[in-house]
Amino acid sequence: MRKNFKTIGLLLTMSIILVNFTSCNNNEPDAPRQTFTSIIAENVIGNTSGIATVKLGDRMWGHMGERYTVFAEAPFVNNGFVLNLPEYMPGHVGGGWVLPDDAVVTNRDARSDLREWLEAFDENGNYMGLFFLQHETDDKFYSVAWMYSDRPHSMRSKETIMGSDGFSFLRKLNIELEKGWNLTYFISDRVNRTTLRTMEKPAGVEFRWYFERNPNLE
């Protein structure tokens, strides 16, 4: 069920205080902070055997083959990691999203970068799979994403689009970013057919770290 909701969520679509972000045991993450400098994970759920490092990077393909640019990495130890985030990311205008014409964007020159997962590698640099911070119920899927912005700005939009199942759904965006790394939440409501990316942490939701292993390793 978790994988089904994750797929739906990803298809239907992460004064300044510097803090760490953590989720462990039965504790919920801290309330959303404007910016932070590292990601802390403990008690990851899933088969994590063989993982040596955790990386935040970009994978690109061209005529020269695959190229992987690493922006940050950390050792994977005791079923967790502490990843210090880079102070700068290249980013994309509008977060890389295609926003509707009536979207309200306070600074259209701002560049941002949304990260919904982190990647795992073994000691030889082989790709092992993906880390996600998520929660789900029978009718909703929730996930955390980390979003870098090169300047303060906000983006708000609402649009009805057609889903892959042939039925329409409402997609909403309501985020207000500070310069640096921001915490965002994605909520997919399958019953009401809505998705929302917001800065407000969903009430009563306990996020947990999950690892999805590279199926080629099974």
Class of residue 191 by CB neighbours under 10 A (exposed 0-12, middle 13-18, buried 19+) = exposed
Cα–Cα distance measured from residue 37 to residue 21, given in angstroms and rounded to the nearest whole number: 8
CA distance 164 to 197: 20
- Report which DSSP code applies to 30: P
CA distance 208 to 212: 13
Q: What is the pLDDT of residue 97?
A: 75
β-bridge mates for residue 92, sequence order: 112
- Domain-wise residue ranges, the chain: 2-202
Contact criterion met (CB below 8 Å) for 80 and 20: no
Query: What percent of the chain lies above the pLDDT cut of 90?
Result: 61
pLDDT more than 70, % of the chain: 80
Residue that wins the pLDDT comparison between 6 and 118: 118
Instruction: Say which amino acid occupies 146.
Output: W
Residue 18 has pLDDT above 90, yes or no: no
